[in-house]
Amino acid sequence: MENQEQVVEQAPQAQPELSIVDLQNIKAILETAVRRGAFQASEMSPIGAVYDRLNTFLTAVLPKKEETAQPAE
């Protein structure tokens, strides 16, 4: 009898993705953790740098409140 290899088909893996809402939630989590004192003082600088980059990105991609407001007719 011949040894036959079974071919196991794998389902295609979904690409990892993050939405704007996910990033907003991460920002809120960081804000809450800092407010509750979850980080030591020596950890604040790198956390602040990440927070600043995240906040800059969200500010750039989210529409401003003035742009989304519909004028009253």
The answer to the question of residue 54 being in a domain is: yes
CA–CA–CA angle 71, 58, 52 (5° rounding): 135
21-37 as b/e: b if 16+ CB within 10 A: eebeeebeebeeeeeee
Structural domain containing residue 36:
20-62
**Residue 32: band (very low, low, confident or very high) from pLDDT cuts 50, 70, 90:** very high
Residue 72 belongs to a domain: no
User: Helix (H, G, I), strand (E, B), or coil: what is residue 70?
Assistant: coil
Does pLDDT of 25 surpass 60?
yes
- Given a cut of 90, is residue 65 above it in pLDDT? no
pLDDT for 63: 86
How many domains in the chain?
1
The answer to whether position 35 is within a domain reads yes
pTM (predicted TM-score): 0.66
| Residue whose C-alpha is closest to residue 57's, from 36, 29, 13, 27 | 27
Distance between CA atoms of residues 51 and 26, nearest Å: 9
Q: Is residue 11 part of a domain?
A: no
Classify residue 53: in a domain, yes or no.
yes
Residue 27 inside a domain? The answer is yes
